[in-house]
């Protein structure tokens, strides 16, 4: 039974998914359920449904700095790697929490915003209002 049916698009929900496919180091077991939400509404629904069914929740990003154990992760794993929109205004940027750090740094450069030069080679995701 898919407890997320009619709430989260089917293509975003994977069952018994090998997490080695979602981490840089390419080892580790499976997630019972792995979901890639792209909106705040979907994230809210996932948390509500997981709580309703008393399932543990784990959040990962791009998987650059995690080592998953062979036994995998029970319950619901949320990957925020597709929650990755960036809005740029005149003097600031708002990045959703799955944005590639390197993309943030590159976009800042394109818009002549300074301060994120140091991040141009750091792997992984970030999210913030950069001012």
Ligand X SMILES: Cc1cc2nc3c(=O)[nH]c(=O)nc-3n(C[C@H](O)[C@H](O)[C@H](O)COP(=O)(O)OP(=O)(O)OC[C@H]3O[C@@H](n4cnc5c(N)ncnc54)[C@H](O)[C@@H]3O)c2cc1C
Residues that bind ligand X (CB under 6 A): 59-66, 80, 97, 122-127
Comparing CA positions, the residue from 4, 16, 105, 122 lying closest to residue 62 is: 122
Q: Are 72 and 29 in contact (CB under 8 A)?
A: yes
Q: Report the residue count for the chain.
A: 131
- Least distance in angstroms from the C-beta of 1 to ligand X: 27
Give the residue nearest to ligand X (CB): 61
Q: Between 2 and 21, whose beta carbon lies closer to ligand X? A: 21
- For ligand X, give the closer residue by CB, 13 or 95: 95
Q: Which is nearer to ligand X, 10 or 28 (CB)?
A: 28
Q: How far is the CB of 63 from ligand X (least distance, A)?
A: 4
How far apart are CB 122 and ligand X at their closest, in Å?
4
Can you say whether residue 50 is alpha, beta or left, with left for phi > 0 and alpha for psi between -120 and 50 degrees? alpha
Min dist CB 10 to ligand X, Å, is: 23
Nearest residue (CB) to ligand X, 10 versus 57? 57
């Amino acid at each position: 039974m898919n407890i997320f049916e009619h709430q989260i698009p089917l293509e975003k929900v994977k069952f018994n998914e090998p997490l080695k496919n979602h981490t840089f180091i390419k080892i580790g077991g499976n997630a019972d359920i792995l979901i890639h939400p792209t909106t705040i509404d979907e994230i809210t629904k996932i948390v509500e449904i997981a709580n309703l069914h008393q399932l543990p929740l784990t959040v990962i990003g791009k998987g650059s700095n995690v080592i998953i154990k062979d036994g995998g992760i029970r319950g619901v794993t949320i990957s925020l790697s597709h929650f990755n929109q960036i809005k740029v205004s005149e003097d600031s940027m708002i990045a959703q929490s799955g944005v590639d750090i390197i993309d943030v740094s590159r976009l800042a450069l394109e818009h002549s915003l300074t301060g994120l030069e140091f991040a141009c080679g750091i792997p992984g995701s970030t999210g913030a209002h950069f001012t």
